[in-house]
Amino acid sequence: MNISFTKHTLANGLDVLIHEDHACPIVAVNLWYHVGSKNERPGHTGFAHLFEHLMFEGSEHHDHGYFQPLQGAGATLNGSTNADRTNYWEVVPSGALELALWMESDRMGCLLPALTEAKFSNQRDVVLNERRQNYENRPYGLAPMALLAALYPPDHPYHWTTIGEIADLEAVGLDEVHAFFRRYYHPGNASIALAGDVDAGEALALVDQYFGEIDEGEPIEPVRASASLPGQVRIYFEDRVELPRLYLTWHTPAMFAEGDADLDLATDLLANGKASRLYRRLVFDERLATDVSASQNSREMTGYAQVTATAAPGHTLAELERAILDEIARLAADGPTDEEIERGRVQAEAQFMYRLQTVGGFGGKSDQLNAYNVFLKDPAYFDRDLARYQVVTHASLQRAAARYLDPARRVTLSIVPQGRVALAAPDSTSAVVS
């Protein structure tokens, strides 16, 4: 099982990946820039994401908004920013491929002449409203701010969220936009993947025609930083919520690093679905919690694992913490059952197969090719990525759980209803979040 593709690198450094799939008369255009919030500095956070918004506001040769011509051609399109990368995609009827390449190349090569103070100020207002909607006015919405700030020291590039700090967003100026664009938005820091109803040779010629004339740009030094927790960090804050919620987080291996797949499966068997250990104990049997979930959040430099549970009325986060740590200790001591390992393998196979169904969007085949190319320089990694999950053993999973889910080195966050601080996990100190 794999995604067949051709790869070429243009003279200006742009990687071009092409996958043919003629099932549906559509083609996905997916462009990654290897820049995310980890390329920001303290005091200038939120910028990579704000910049993503500006990329939809028009460029020198089409200064009327990015959506209109593409939606008129029947496209769907979007973009997203995370700590490590920013992506932009269109899924278009195959006859509109050239239009999409024209649009993408114009904003890569010629964005700045069209970027006015008015657009900038409007999109800053939009982003501040995005922050209000998805974080400030949402129950538990400020949890990521508190967790990342506790996991990583203030100068670490994973210390802040992608949406950024309000004060930083309000302070940023148009000059910073220009500098950021010149530094990160160029062919040498980008990878484009086309997947769908195209002829690979013709498509490559079109990409070369539209992107080949853009200047390469200066090479970018990879961001490097390390972090570890010397012990426990225990914090809480009060929120407009009815039920208290507990978050446990640990430093874990980076994306694709040794232990990453083990922790994916470990967090799955702990809390993914009703067959999982924590659901069974906390929600089904003891009824301490109304919900529980867990994930290995692997990123380019380093990852973090997280377990989240909401207390049922009448129960405290101290009870939840004890039960969760107890189950993790049991996993670290005894490892998974044979059946859990088998389940993990089948689920990985199924998940990988489901991903092959679509050429574009977030997580489709074009996005997958770019992820492997940008993070590993190896777009053919699909079958080896799946193989990582097939070689997980009882011993390797147990070892990873014991090593990384260490009760003595973690961040414990309690979010409690206003005025109900006693519900927080014991010995927590108040955290300031906004």
Looking at the Cβ atoms of 141 and 157, the one nearer to another protein is: 141
Beta strands at 190-196 and 303-311: parallel, antiparallel or unpaired: unpaired
Looking at the Cβ atoms of 264 and 300, the one nearer to another protein is: 264
Nearest distance, CB of residue 353 and another protein, angstroms: 6
Helices (H) and strands (E) in the chain, counts: 15, 12
CB neighbourhood size of 59 (10 A): 22
What's the gap between Cα 254 and its chain centre? 13
**Closest of 267, 245, 403, 290 to residue 336, by C-alpha:** 267
Beta strands in 137-270 (DSSP E): 190-196, 232-239, 245-252
d(CA 410, CA 248): 7
Looking at the Cβ atoms of 222 and 314, the one nearer to another protein is: 314
Nearest distance, CB of residue 313 and another protein, angstroms: 7
Looking at the Cβ atoms of 226 and 337, the one nearer to another protein is: 337
Amino acid at 85: R
Nearest distance, CB of residue 335 and another protein, angstroms: 18
Nearest distance, CB of residue 198 and another protein, angstroms: 12
Question: Helix (H, G, I), strand (E, B), or coil: what is residue 188?
Answer: helix
Looking at the Cβ atoms of 209 and 393, the one nearer to another protein is: 209
Nearest distance, CB of residue 272 and another protein, angstroms: 9
Looking at the Cβ atoms of 283 and 324, the one nearer to another protein is: 283
Looking at the Cβ atoms of 162 and 302, the one nearer to another protein is: 162
d(CA 99, CA 73): 9
Nearest distance, CB of residue 140 and another protein, angstroms: 9
Nearest distance, CB of residue 186 and another protein, angstroms: 17
**Residue whose structure tokens are 């109803």:** 197
3-state SS of 254-280 is CCCCCCHHHHHHHHHHHHCCCCCHHHH
Nearest distance, CB of residue 150 and another protein, angstroms: 23
Looking at the Cβ atoms of 82 and 347, the one nearer to another protein is: 347
d(CA 96, CA 94): 5
Looking at the Cβ atoms of 198 and 424, the one nearer to another protein is: 198
Q: What is the DSSP letter of 59?
A: B
Kindly list the distances between the CA atom of residue 368 and the CA atoms of 80, 141, 210, 222, in Å, as whole numbers in the listed order. 14, 29, 23, 21
Residues 6+ apart with CB under 8 A from 117: 174
What's the gap between Cα 11 and its chain centre? 30
Nearest distance, CB of residue 61 and another protein, angstroms: 4
Q: What is the DSSP letter of 62?
A: B
d(CA 42, CA 40): 7
